[in-house]
Amino acid sequence: MPKLDPGKPLSRSVPELARHHLDAAIEQLDEQRNGIETAVHQGRKHLKRVRALIRLVEHCDPKHLKPTRRALSDAARSLSEVRDATALVECAGGLASYLEGRNAGDMAHPLKEAVERRRDLLALEAPSLSRLTDPVIAACRKAAQDLEGAFFGHRDEAADVLAEGRSRNHRKARATLEVCHHGGHPESFHDLRKCAQATMFQAGFLSDAWAFAMAAEADEAKALTDILGHEHDLEVLNILLHSEPHLFGAIADRDRLAELIMERRAALRHDAMTIAARLYSDGAKREMKRFAALWQLAAAKK
């Protein structure tokens, strides 16, 4: 996976890395070799990486970098319905073993059939593929141009810039985790997942400075991201259960399913907060100084 090069100035390495992922997103959405669903899923992952990269350096030039990141976020969101319908099918499949363990295995197959029918119906009603993908491709091309002209700090400030970017995400994650501990709204757990995704991608970008620690951090952040992703899908499934009840059979079955979904979400949240407390422990200032020193050392070796 491409990463930032400590031997290059950020004004060169950040646009180069961003362009790699933006070009990959364009290729996925333009060619759709493995179908639209796969193209959307892969394309959105590349856009998430670019947004995580921008977050690392956004404080250097917020006037230009923040609108670029937000434009990419809006572009990815415009594709979300295509992905979300498929994610619910995967979520229903993943829930099957839990339902079996709770003596409700007979609910698994009808649930999966219901969300599959909904996915297929949405696919029939969706606008043409070009209407979905063309604006996203245009947003990717504009972002690549915008990043070429942004300010990323002076060359001798790179270590401090990147350390500060990591620290900002860490502080945001800790604040979000605190809200989650006090019974936060589902959106708080979704925000925590976005912080974990940023941590995961940023650790990969910065691995030249601190390979072992960055790999361990990326693994932990991925585990947190996966758990919170499943929890979020269950929240969407729960909303669908109440907004489109006709999809899910008799009321008694719906009530039992809703109860089991809530139980599963509570267990996932508990696991997520355990990992997040470890991943985002106190001591960010000390780690920030250590990372900056290691990035400078890596740059000196180039």
- Rounded CA separation 190/94 (Å): 19
CA–CA dist 205, 222 (Å, integer)? 14
First vs last Cα of the chain: how many Å apart?
Answer: 19
In the block, tokens 């941590």 appear at 199
CATH classification of the domain holding 257: 1.40.20.10
* pLDDT per position as a tens digit, 155-196: 899 999 999 999 999 999 999 999 998 877 888 999 999 999
Q: Answer whether residue 84 is part of any domain.
A: yes
Res 127: pLDDT: 58
Residue 1 placed within a domain: no
Q: How confident is the model at residue 129 (pLDDT cuts 50, 70, 90)?
A: low
| pLDDT above 90 (res 126) | no
Q: If residue 119 lies in a helix (H) or strand (E), which one and from where to where?
A: helix 108-125
Number of domains in the chain: 1
Cα 291 from chain centre: 23
> What pLDDT does residue 283 have?
77
The answer to the question of residue 5 being in a domain is no
pLDDT value, residue 199: 97
Domain assignment present for 260: yes
Average pLDDT, the chain: 91
Does a structural domain hold residue 273? yes
| Domain range for 292 | 10-301
Q: Is 112 a member of any domain?
A: yes
% of the chain at pLDDT higher than 90: 69
Contact 133, 29 (CB under 8 A): yes
Does 36 map to a domain? yes
Please determine, for residue 48, whether its predicted confidence score (pLDDT) is greater than 90.
yes
In a domain, residue 2? The reply is no
The pTM (predicted TM-score) of the whole model is: 0.92
